[in-house]
Amino acid sequence: NSDDKKLYGWNQEPFLDLYEVSVTEKDGKKEYGTPDFINSSKINTKYHEASVAITKDGKTMYFTRDNVDRKNKLDYDRKGTSHLKLYKATLENGSWENIVELPFNDNVYSTGHPALSPDDKKLYFVSDREGGFGQTDIYEVDILENNKYSTPKNLGPKVNTAQREMFPFVSKDSTLYFSSDGQLNLGLLDIFKSNILKDENAEPENLGAPYNSGYDDFAFFMNDESKTGYFSSNRPGGQGNDDIYSFNAEPCKQKIEGIARNSKNQEILAGVEVKLINKAGKIIETITTANDGAFAFDADCNKTYTVVGSKKDYKDDLKEIVTEFDNGKVNNADLNLTPLINDNQIVINPIFFDFDKWNIRTDAQYELENIVDVMREHPNMVIKIESHTDSRGSDSYNMKLSDRRAKSTRDYIISRGIAPERIASAIGYGETQLLNKCSNGVKCTPEEHQLNRRSYFYILKD
């Protein structure tokens, strides 16, 4: 029927037009007027117009339009596709006039989604032209005089992927915001931000919830002064297919706090050095606990942090905290540090060896580093090492095996810079000093045998 002429052939949805709406604020809430066609008789056609960028002085507008011919009909390429093009208009007596096509458009690929740099000297746009990295990429050109522009430059693989990058927006501090379905996404199109315009090695960052959902989220815009803005999404709960959402981008902050305690008796620990570390491994802040053992950090939302507590003669403890988008939330990160010195011993977790082996495994190295740390903190300390086995295997074999394990333990500690004379002895006792009934011929569980496989680090001099 005649209405079909008003529908876009690919998805049978109406063609898009550009509208404007007045926005006022009353009692701290935004109120929106009635949407109306943008003030011009020449901007909107019977085909697509969308994606606007306006200069700071409000006098020049860039927008996207379907490729139409001189008869105002869709112009198709050889494959029957009508591509998008970028246009520029200027404001004359309150109306958008002087519409001109930008010179880097082409009939065989699309060019659209304009965005301007803070100084209005660069134009960013999206295109599926040849030479890109994926389906659609983001490009930039310098805006010259007399409707001239530099050669389009691809923003490169830090931004563009093999999939779609679309809807660029550049904030006052030259942060690039864009949508992509080829980066690390929560859903389909997600909104990302990047410092690529200031640092060519910058990696894009997913804005996370609530900006992104499991659906398409795109067309991000933010007012730098008010920190309010808009984006579009087809997430559930809207009025139609793609809806416009508003947001307030005031910084979302949370707290990470806790108390450091002795894991053995729950006594509060003073003098614990607590570090807040971000996902990249950078130390954000360091606090040393006072007599109350308490610590507290300010943290950003939608981040992953690690809290690490360290104290002389204690084993480090750490907690991973993931802050969601919940302004003001307090995250608990209580730390429980295990004392490494108990009476005349340095106490660590059991050191495990492979069956019939005595080489130091990677997990054993981690535990032995606690011995090394204590001996570094106590430069006059002298220790002796004992190694014990369970009763499985012959007595003589277990004696030799435990002795080899004791000496390989000693050798590892020496390899980490501890003087050999500080280890008085490293002796294996085989199965001669069992802690339970599990001697030769007695049936025991693996856990009972495990109790007998152990190492001791006795302090002879401190």
Decide: 106 and 78 in contact? Cβ < 8 Å: no
Give the integer Cα–Cα distance in Å for 408 and 427. 10
The CATH code of the domain that includes 426 is 3.30.1330.60
Can you give the pLDDT at residue 249? Answer: 78
Give the integer Cα–Cα distance in Å for 96 and 44. 11
Can you give the pLDDT at residue 37? Answer: 85
The CATH code of the domain that includes 289 is 2.60.40.1120
- Segment 68-93 shows an average pLDDT of 75
Give the integer Cα–Cα distance in Å for 418 and 408. 14
Can you give the pLDDT at residue 13? Answer: 54
Q: Does residue 4 surpass a pLDDT of 50?
A: no
Can you give the pLDDT at residue 194? Answer: 96
Secondary structure (3-state) at 363: helix
| Domain-terminating residue out of 222, 248, 274 | 248
Q: Does residue 281 surpass a pLDDT of 70?
A: yes
**Residue of 314, 319, 271 lying closest to 299 (CA atoms):** 319
**Residue of 231, 226, 228, 224 lying closest to 208 (CA atoms):** 231
pTM listed for this prediction: 0.58
Can you give the pLDDT at residue 208? Answer: 86
Q: In 102-175, where do the E strands start and end?
A: 111-116, 122-127, 137-142, 153-154, 165-170
List pLDDT tens digits, range 352-410.
888 788 999 998 999 999 999 999 999 999 999 999 999 998 999 999 999 999 999 99
Q: Based on the domain organization, do 128 and 272 belong to the same domain?
A: no
Q: Based on the domain organization, do 317 and 349 belong to the same domain?
A: no
Number of folded domains that form the chain: 3
Among 111-120, 205-214, 305-314, which is the least confidently predicted range?
A: 205-214
| Domain-terminating residue out of 338, 360, 376 | 338
Decide: 119 and 147 in contact? Cβ < 8 Å: no
| Domain-terminating residue out of 308, 338, 368 | 338
Q: Based on the domain organization, do 175 and 51 belong to the same domain?
A: yes
Domain assignment of residue 301, given as a range: 253-338
